[in-house]
Amino acid sequence: MRVDRKLWTVAAVCVAVVAGATGCSKGEEKAADPFTGLTADAIADKAVETTKGATAFRMHGKGNTDGEDVSVDFSVDDKGNCKGSMQAAKGGKADIVGTGGTTYMKGDDAFWKSTGGDEGASAEESGAMSALLKGRWLKMPSEAGAEGPGAFCDLKQIVKDMDEETPRKGMTREADADVDGRSAAVLSKKDTAKGETVTFYVAKDAAKPYILRVVTTGGKDPGTVDLGDFDKPVTAAAPPADQTVDMAELMKGAS
């Protein structure tokens, strides 16, 4: 159940105006470009720093890791709260809730059969795990910096990975576009060695130029992810104890 942190590096779009800003109807002037005088690299730096400072956001999109498609949709804040869902590469869906240093995952039958047990587990072992967890939440500790479902609740690690993975040198500014009704500056970077192009869209907002969308085409990890609901608190509640299975207890039993 490895979480593809590179899923975050991905995006694509069209053309519009920031909601609430000056319109583009006949006779009206376009809103001023908040990035006038800045290079594409400088805009990228500004966007990354602004997004890193968000206290919460939602991420949703699709990516490819190790040749298999994965999709996620989750919200996370800086207090360790998160909730959302993920679609497994080999089928099935799981809901995720994290709060108080613990992450809970509830998958459907297809999800546990395709991901359950250790790597290389037999169909019988995966089936047994699916039966044990049917309709129940798997309780897991949310360890800082760890991979797995707990990574969804680690905003600090997510923005750290974002900082390290986002190209900020040799960017090119393309024609502006639209992301869900918000005007965005479009920046791209082609990596010939990796055979991939990363394009991301930055809100044309002088105060908060957040990254709104990232698209990676070609290479080993193509995909698209959108970011939104910036600084919106995440409300997450742990499921009832009688509906959970403690992973630590499972591990003890296995050993």
Number of structural domains the chain divides into = 1
Tens digit of pLDDT for each residue in 183-239?
999 999 998 888 999 999 999 999 999 999 999 999 888 899 999 999 999 999 999
Does position 143 have pLDDT exceeding 70, yes or no?
A: no
Residue 22 covered by a domain:
yes
C-alpha count within 13 angstroms, C-beta hemisphere, residue 9: 24
Q: What is the pLDDT of residues 155-198, one digit of tens each?
A: 988 998 888 888 889 999 999 999 999 999 999 999 888 899 99
8 Å CB contact between 187 and 199: yes
Which residue do the tokens 């207890």 mark? Answer: 249
CB 91 within 8 A of CB 110: yes
- Give me the domain span that covers residue 35: 5-250
What was the pLDDT predicted at 144?
A: 54
Distance of alpha carbon 159 from alpha carbon 157, whole angstroms: 6
pLDDT band at 135 (very low <50, low <70, confident <90, very high): confident
In the chain, beta strands by DSSP E: 56-65, 68-77, 82-87, 93-99, 102-107, 137-141, 172-173, 177-179, 182-191, 196-203, 211-218, 223-228, 244-246
Q: How do residues 40-88 score in pLDDT, each as one tens digit?
A: 999 999 999 999 999 999 999 998 766 678 899 999 999 989 999 998 7
List the one residue out of 109, 118, 114, 110 whose CA is nearest residue 136: 109
DSSP E strands, 66-144: 68-77, 82-87, 93-99, 102-107, 137-141
> Has residue 117 been placed in a domain?
yes
What is the spatial distance between Cα 61 and Cα 74, in angstroms, rounded to a whole number? 10
**Cα 70 to Cα 152: distance, rounded to the nearest angstrom:** 14
Which range of 119-123, 150-154, 187-191, 246-250 scores highest in mean pLDDT? It is 187-191
Asked whether residue 255 is domain-assigned, the answer is: no
Q: What pLDDT does 66 receive?
A: 65
Residue 17 resides in a domain: yes
CATH code of the domain in which 234 resides: 2.50.20.20
Mean pLDDT across the stretch 135-139?
Answer: 90
Q: What's the average model confidence in pLDDT over 30-37?
A: 87
Report yes or no on 190 lying in a domain: yes
Tokens 């591990």 — which residue?
251
Whether pLDDT at 15 is above 50: no
19 has a pLDDT exceeding 80? no
Element (H, E) at 212: strand 211-218
Using alpha carbons, select from 62, 64, 63, 100 the residue that is nearest to residue 82: 100
